[in-house]
Amino acid sequence: MDTAQQSEHTIRAFKGKSFLPALTVYDYPMTRLLDELGIPMLLVGDSLGMVVLGYPDTTHVTMEEMLHHVRAAARAKPRGFLVADMPFHSYENPDQALTHATQLKEAGAKGVKLEGGQEVAPQIQAILQSGIPCVGHLGMLPQRVVEEGGYRIKGRSEQEKASLLENAELLTKLGVCALVLELVQSDLAREITHRVSIPTIGIGSGDDCDGQILVTQDLIGGFPWFRPKFVTPVMESASLLQKSVDAWRSEQSERYRKAFSPSPIVAHHRT
């Protein structure tokens, strides 16, 4: 078994045993810190586009940008399952998907994640056949946000519910090792979790998935200009940074003022 297969195996083994925590990483220090903590799945997500690169959504992220950040994360040599998102338009057909998944693997990812169900089944099959582990992603698909005109909960209508259940079962059968469920109505997310034999990893899909994934910046309050409603940050790192830098600036200004303020003029009298 190579290291990618071992990681995949470890992720599958969470099913029905223990909670699977997963977080996004985009660079060396964050990957090293979270891996040292033992987070078993680290995703170089294309949320990179918003929280690091300043794009309005994930559709602008390119393959070059993903490769650059996957290489940085991989330099931390994480023991956990380092997964890379396949960016928008990088998996339009099986050949293209395989070429790009291979590049992400060569950059250091142990697995890749693709958005969608039966419409990307041939791409997933091609990648899996080459030995690269895949993670599925169903529900709200951020790469379709422009097309759909916003982020909304999926699985409220009977038709959406049936299609999500069908796709979850199909992806499991194809051989993905875990399934991200994004903004899936919580009862449905629970039902999918009971039906499939692989771990489901929820994001904004209620509490009853096998694991949870978050954009790390959301969890640590590092991107204060946008906060998803379903996240309660564990710290306020953006305001902590601003306050600490402000204190440093005041201290240094005070030191400068004392060192360089003109000395009082001493009057000299001639005798």
Binding site for ligand KIV (CB under 6 A): 24, 43, 45-47, 85, 180, 182, 203, 213, 215
Whichever of 178 and 188 has its CB closer to ligand KIV, that residue is 178
Classify strands 20-24 and 211-214 as parallel, antiparallel or unpaired. Answer: parallel
Q: Minimum distance from CB of 216 to ligand KIV (Å)?
A: 9
Instruction: Answer yes or no: are the C-beta atoms of 214 and 23 closer than 8 Å.
Output: yes
Q: How far is the CB of 254 from ligand KIV (least distance, A)?
A: 42
- HSE, CB side, 13 Å, CA atoms: give it for residue 93: 2
Q: In terms of CB distance, is 7 or 143 closer to ligand KIV? A: 143
Residue of closest CB approach to ligand KIV:
45
Beta carbons of 183 and 151 less than 8 angstroms apart: yes
Q: What's the min distance (Å) between Cβ of 240 and ligand KIV?
A: 23
* Catalytic residue chosen out of the listed positions 64, 160, 166, 182: 182
Pure H helices in 118-236: 121-129, 145-148, 158-174, 186-195, 216-219
- AA identity, residue 162: A
Closer CB to ligand KIV, 191 or 218, in the complex: 218
Closer CB to ligand KIV, 95 or 148, in the complex: 148
Least distance from C-beta 50 to ligand KIV, angstroms?
Answer: 9
Give residue 169's identity as a one-letter amino acid code.
Answer: E
In contact, 19 and 25? CB cutoff 8 Å: no
Q: Is 182 a catalytic residue?
A: yes
> Who's near 200: CB < 8 A, 6+ residues apart?
168, 178, 179, 180, 181, 189, 192, 193, 209, 210, 211
Residues noted as catalytic: 182
